Amino acid sequence: MRRLASRRVVLPASALVALVLACCVMLGDEPAATPQGAILARFTQDGTEYAIHADGGAYRRRGDEWVLAARLFEPGAQDRAYVERDSVMHVRDDGGTLIPMRREFRADFEAAPSLRELIGLEPGWTAFTLQSPTAPTVSDYVALRREILAGRAGFRDNALELADVAHGGRRALRARSVAKSRAMVCCKTSIETELLHAVSGDVFHFDGWFFLEAGTPFTLVDVETTWILQHPGIRVVVWGGRHLGMELKWADKPQYRQAAGREVDIPRGRWFRLRFALDLSAGEDGRVRVWQDEVLVVDAPGRTLPVPFAVYNSLEVGITSNHDAATLLMDDLAVAISRR
C-alpha cells in the first residue's frame, strides 16, 4: 500500500515484497513447484523459459520441472479493493475510506504556488520521484519526498519546480535530472497520480505539451498498474534519443516504433505536442497510436496490458527514466479514458 504524503491517505500498490530487480529477471535455486491457474504469459530469456500463471507466480523451467521464481501479485487483491458506487469506481484506503477514481484528469500547473501544493486528492497528483545519486534507492527517495512535503528539506541534485515558461497560461512544470551513477539503473524526476482506473476494453487517451531544454530523457510517460511487482505497464520511449515510440514493460517487452526510414525526429528547443491512444488489451487486438504534434508517427496492433485483469491506476509524467543529465518542461496535460 502506498501513502499519499500530503493527505495521509493510503492507496494500493503491490502487496508483494520486491524479490527481484525486474519481473522478467528471476534468479535462485528454488524447489520445484506446481503452477496453479491459467498461463497469463510465456516467454524465453537468455535461453530459459518462463511462465506466469494466474496464481500470481512466475515460474522458471528447470529440466522437466517448474521452479517458483517470484510472486508477482496477490490473486484477487485489486478486486477486493475496488468498489463501484453511483457509476464511479472507488478504492478502499487502509482505514476503509472509499476514494473515487478518475476517468478524466487535467493539469495545467497554474493554481499551485509550489510542488507541495500539487500533491493531494484535490489537485490529483499523489506523489513525485526524485531518484538520483544522492537518493538512489526507493527508501532514499521516499524519505526525501516526505521531507520535502513536510517543508524540512529542499531539492538535492534533481528537482521539480514550477517555471515561468509555459505553453499556455503563465507556468509549466520543469523536471531536472542529473546523470545516473555507475551503480544505478537509471535516474528519475517525475510526478504521478494513482487516482486512475483503466481496464481491458478501455481506450486510454493522453495529451500533453513538452519542451526539451537540455539532454533527452529515455522515457517521458508511464501508464502502470501498481498491483503487480515492479509496476509493469506501457511507456513512451524516445528511441535512440530521437524518435517517439512505446514499449510494454512486461515479459518479452513488445516495442512500438516508427516505420524505418520514415521516422520523425523529436523537436528540441520548442514546445511540441505528444498524444497517444491505447486500446487496452493483453492480446493482439490491442492498438497503439502516437502523435507528435499533429503527425501520426506510430499506429500498430499489439498488447498494451500485462495481463487481462490489470488495472492501470498510475500515470507518471516527466523524466521517468534517464541515464544522462536532462531538463524537461511539461504543461497542459490531460487524460481521458473511454470504452471502445
Round to whole Å and give the CA distance between 127 and 149.
Answer: 10
CA of 39: how far to CAs of 36, 86, 112, 255, in Å?
9, 35, 46, 22
Task: Answer yes or no: is 42 within a domain.
Answer: no
pLDDT tens-place string over residues 266-316: 999 999 999 999 999 999 999 999 999 999 999 999 999 999 999 999 999
Q: Is residue 263 part of a domain?
A: yes
CATH code, 138: 2.60.120.200
**What residues make up the domain containing 115?**
101-339
| Residue appearing with cell numbers 501508464 | 223
Q: Would residue 46 count as lying in a domain?
A: no
Query: Do the domain assignments include residue 13?
Result: no
Give the mean pLDDT of 261-268.
96
Q: For residue 141, what is its C-alpha cell? A: 527517495
Query: CA nearest 23: which of 204, 232, 187, 310?
Result: 232
What is residue 254's predicted lDDT score, i.e. its pLDDT? 95
Q: Give the pLDDT confidence score for residue 251 in this predicted structure.
A: 86
| Mean residue pLDDT across the chain | 90
Q: pLDDT band at 33, cuts 50/70/90? A: confident
Q: Is residue 334 one of the residues assigned to a domain?
A: yes
pLDDT at residue 29, rounded to an integer: 55
pLDDT higher than 90, residue 11: no
What CA–CA distances, in Å, run from 333 to 124, 173, 177, 269, 318?
A: 12, 11, 20, 19, 11
The structure's pTM equals 0.90
Q: Give pLDDT tens digits for 106-117.
A: 999 998 899 999
Cα three-residue angle 41-46-49, rounded to 5 degrees: 35
**What percent of the chain stands above pLDDT 70?**
91
The residue with greater pLDDT, 41 or 4, is 41
Q: Look at residue 171 in the predicted model and tell me its pLDDT.
A: 95
Tens digits of per-residue pLDDT, 203-236?
Answer: 999 999 999 999 999 999 999 999 999 999 999 9
Percent of the chain residues topping a pLDDT of 90: 84
pLDDT of residue 6 exceeding 60 = no
Number of domains in the chain: 1
66 vs 2: CA distance, rounded Å:
32
Domain-located, residue 12: no
CA-based nearest residue to 17, from 255, 229, 334: 229
- Residue 96: predicted pLDDT: 86
**Could you tell me if residue 178 is inside a domain?**
yes
Residue 20 confidence class, pLDDT cut points 50, 70, 90? very low
Let me know if residue 139 belongs to a domain: yes
Across 153-158, average pLDDT: 95
